[in-house]
Amino acid sequence: MIIVLKPNTTEEGIQRVVKRIKELGLDAMVSRGMMRTIIGVIGEEDRIRIQPLEAIPGVEHVMPVLAPYKMASREFQPEDTVVRVGQAEFGGAGVSVIAGPCAVESRDQLFAIAEAVSKGGAVALRGGAFKPRTSPYSFQGLGEEGLNYLKECRERFGLPIVTEVVDTRHVEMVARYADVLQIGARNMQNFSLITEAGRTGKPILLKRGMSATVKDLLMSAEYILTQGNSNVILCERGIKTFEDGTRNTVDISAIPALRLASHLPVIVDPSHGTGRRELIAPLARAAVAAGANGIMVEVHHCPEKALCDGPQALLPTDFAEMMDEVTIIAEAMGKTVSRMPKTGRKETASR
């Protein structure tokens, strides 16, 4: 349920409504927009339906939220959420690109790639320190050693860090290093992990599960939002279908569907979505054209020697070319592609 307050309602008036909601044994989440404030009611709404809340001073009207994902819905918040990561932004009119290796393999490897993607225009560096794999015999990541290398790269190149957390026992440690906690596709419905990550207050990059619907993804985002953490970035990374020509099937239709249903920013990962280097740039262009707020791609300076997902990693030269292409698409749609120059200051690309 949503309680819409009258314009210019004072903070005292807002807190009066919040207090009444809590007296009914429910939680209240306050969303302050440019024009007015909305209060989302979380819990068993039957307790509140018979209450004369519209009689409280400052309340304009009370309305139900029809979507099962309350706080993630456009009904709860009509304006786009903009998630700020350092000097980078995800959401609104910009298009931001995250790039880096699938896994942190060594200090030299990470620094070489970080320098390349920084020059190419990425606004954040991705890299996995913990790598859950299908086979227990495959490379599983460097753990905290890898997190330290990521931290060094942030200090050297000014790029915020995006890295995956895979275990509730690691959340606190990863949060000490990372600017964005990534929840991978396999963990999208690991609600204990999602809740714990949400409690850190750090921005959360939530990937769509391999067999998850758009609704499933938004319901998982709801777990984070109910922890008081509104900094959620949704990621379409391909779903499993009968098609075997690509690793997964990138659901381009999910981009506008998510943006219509939710105020949260949406990015696309065409690297995992296709598993094929030659398909990454075309899917990145399509994603931007469909309205994505950003792209996340894997880049490796020597993919034939990569310990993880080499066939789906762009070479640095390919990445720079892709950035030029998505910039053209974005500008044709009246958007801009954000870039982070060597100084670490964010700027807008122009052609």
3-state secondary structure of 334: coil
pLDDT score for 48: 65
Cα–Cα distance, 88 to 267 (Å, whole number) = 14
Min mean pLDDT across 35-44, 153-162, 229-238 is at 35-44
Name the residue type at position 152.
Answer: E
Task: Provide the mean pLDDT of the chain.
Answer: 89
How many angstroms from the chain centroid is the CA of residue 285?
19
- Residue 4, sorted as left (phi over 0), alpha (psi -120 to 50) or beta, turns out to be beta
Note whether 2-63 and 83-348 share their fold.
Answer: no
pLDDT for the residue numbered 344: 46
In the three-class reduction of DSSP (H, G, I as helix; E, B as strand; rest coil), residue 73 is classed as: strand
Could you tell me the residue ranges of all domains in the chain? 2-63, 83-348
What would the pLDDT profile of 111-166 be if each residue is shown by its tens digit?
999 999 999 999 999 999 987 666 776 777 889 999 999 999 999 999 999 999 99
Q: What is the pLDDT of residue 9?
A: 85
pLDDT digits (tens, 9 = 90+) for 57-110: 888 888 777 788 988 999 888 889 999 998 889 998 889 999 999 999 999 999
What's the pLDDT at 351?
39
Q: How far is it, in rounded angstroms, from Cα 285 to Cα 75?
A: 30
pLDDT band for position 56 (cuts 50, 70, 90): confident
Compute the average pLDDT of residues 247-258: 96
Range with lowest mean pLDDT among 215-229, 276-290, 301-315: 301-315
The DSSP secondary-structure symbol of 249 reads B
Q: Where are the beta strands (DSSP E) in the chain?
A: 2-5, 27-32, 37-42, 59-63, 83-85, 88-90, 94-100, 124-126, 161-164, 180-183, 204-207, 232-236, 266-268, 294-298, 336-339, 347-348
Contact between 288 and 329 (Cβ < 8 Å): yes
Fold of 2-63: Alpha-Beta Plaits (3.30.70)
Task: State which CATH number among 3.30.110.30, 3.40.50.920, 2.60.20.30, 3.20.20.70 fits the domain covering 83-348.
Answer: 3.20.20.70
